[in-house]
């Protein structure tokens, strides 16, 4: 059965929601067969597959390309795509056009936008136009140059109050869910219990309505680079390396082709 934004809202309080990233058809197909609920084509494609040191160089054209590749796998999971760096801060017509491309050209079924209270008005207009929006609060990787580092959010009272206000504003604007990244776990719990829409956590503790991990982290494809909260559930990288090594040895020993 196809997962929709309606499906996800109904899951709140019923069972944990499972989300992962994917950037191409093979991973998307396998994740879909594992019955995850959401596949996010994240702008993390920049520092996982494209060799950048952050998400900032990822363009809208890149997101359209990778989202279309994932869509071709036709997963039953809800397919969401990131609105990349800066795009959500242009005038509304440009933001709307970016979302139009992600949905019409690429096949995304929702978009994810980093930002809180300040972006609530354009998010409300996007929802009115028929664009399902997944809000993103806490650590916003697109702001890493401003922050200067990756950090946890919500430890002090003022920051916690601001994040809760952001969450309520995005819910009021019509966001169907919130991604809470690197938020202090007790605050993530408060947000989850306060809003009526699902919260999906990453590095924000166990109290959210669901969890998301970057696929290369959970599959063990980036040894030594995964964040502390990202538990590897497989060591695919080692298996791939063994396969390449076995192939190299077979060719050099004239054992392949037979």
**Running DSSP on this structure, what letter comes out for residue 85?**
T
3-state class (DSSP) for residue 178: strand
Lowest mean pLDDT, pick from 8-12, 76-80, 107-111, 225-229:
225-229
pLDDT at 224: 62
Q: Average pLDDT in the 100-124 region?
A: 98
Cβ-in-10-Å burial (0-12, 13-18, 19+) of 110 comes to buried
Instruction: Name residues whose C-beta falls within 8 Å of residue 56's C-beta, 6 or more positions apart in sequence.
Output: 46, 85, 142, 144, 145
Cis peptide before 108 (omega within 30 of 0): no
Judge contact between 161 and 117, C-beta under 8 A. Answer: no
Judge contact between 206 and 153, C-beta under 8 A. Answer: no
pLDDT at 75: 97
pLDDT at 227: 81
Segment 227-234 long-range contacts (CB within 8 Å, at least 24 positions apart): 227/150, 227/203, 229/202, 229/203, 230/203
pTM, two decimal places:
0.96
Judge contact between 20 and 31, C-beta under 8 A. Answer: yes
pLDDT at 182: 97
Judge contact between 151 and 139, C-beta under 8 A. Answer: yes
Q: Which two tokens stand for residue 24?
A: 């191409």
From residue 214, alpha-carbon distances to 41, 75, 85, 114, 203 in Å are 10, 17, 18, 16, 11
Digit-coded pLDDT (tens) for 160-211:
999 999 999 999 999 999 999 999 999 999 999 999 999 999 999 999 999 9
Q: Average pLDDT in the 151-157 region?
A: 92
Digit-coded pLDDT (tens) for 205-255:
999 999 999 999 999 997 666 788 889 999 999 999 999 999 999 999 999
Which residue ranges make up each domain of the chain? 5-218
Residue 150 has pLDDT above 90, yes or no: no
pLDDT at 149: 79
pLDDT at 151: 85
Tell me the average pLDDT of the chain: 96
pLDDT at 82: 98
Q: Quote the percentage of the chain above a pLDDT of 90.
A: 92
Q: Which fold has domain 5-218?
A: TIM Barrel (3.20.20)
Q: Which residues are catalytic?
A: 181
Q: Average pLDDT in the 110-123 region?
A: 98
Judge contact between 163 and 184, C-beta under 8 A. Answer: no
């Amino acid at each position: 059965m196809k997962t929709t934004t309606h499906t996800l809202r109904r899951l709140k309080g019923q069972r944990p929601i499972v989300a992962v990233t994917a950037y191409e058809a093979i991973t998307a197909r396998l994740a879909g067969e594992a019955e995850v609920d959401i596949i996010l084509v994240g702008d993390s494609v920049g520092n996982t597959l494209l060799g950048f040191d952050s998400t900032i160089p990822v363009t809208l054209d890149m997101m359209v390309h990778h989202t279309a590749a994932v869509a071709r796998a036709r997963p039953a999971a809800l397919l969401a795509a990131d609105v990349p760096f800066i795009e959500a801060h242009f005038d509304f017509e440009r933001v709307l056009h970016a979302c139009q491309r992600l949905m019409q050209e690429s096949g995304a079924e929702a978009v994810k936008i980093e930002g809180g209270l300040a972006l609530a008005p354009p998010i409300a207009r996007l929802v009115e136009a028929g664009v399902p929006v997944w809000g993103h609060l806490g650590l916003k990787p697109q702001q890493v140059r401003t922050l200067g580092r990756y950090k946890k959010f919500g430890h002090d009272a003022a920051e916690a109050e601001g994040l809760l206000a952001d969450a309520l504003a995005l819910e009021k604007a019509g966001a169907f869910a919130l991604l809470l990244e690197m938020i202090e776990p007790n605050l993530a719990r408060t947000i989850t219990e306060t809003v009526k829409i699902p919260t999906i956590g990453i590095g924000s503790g166990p109290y959210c309505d669901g969890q998301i991990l970057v696929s290369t982290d959970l599959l063990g494809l980036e040894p030594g680079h995964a964040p502390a909260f990202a538990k590897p559930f497989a060591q695919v990288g080692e298996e791939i390396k063994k396969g390449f090594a076995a192939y190299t040895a077979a060719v050099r020993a004239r054992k392949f082709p037979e």
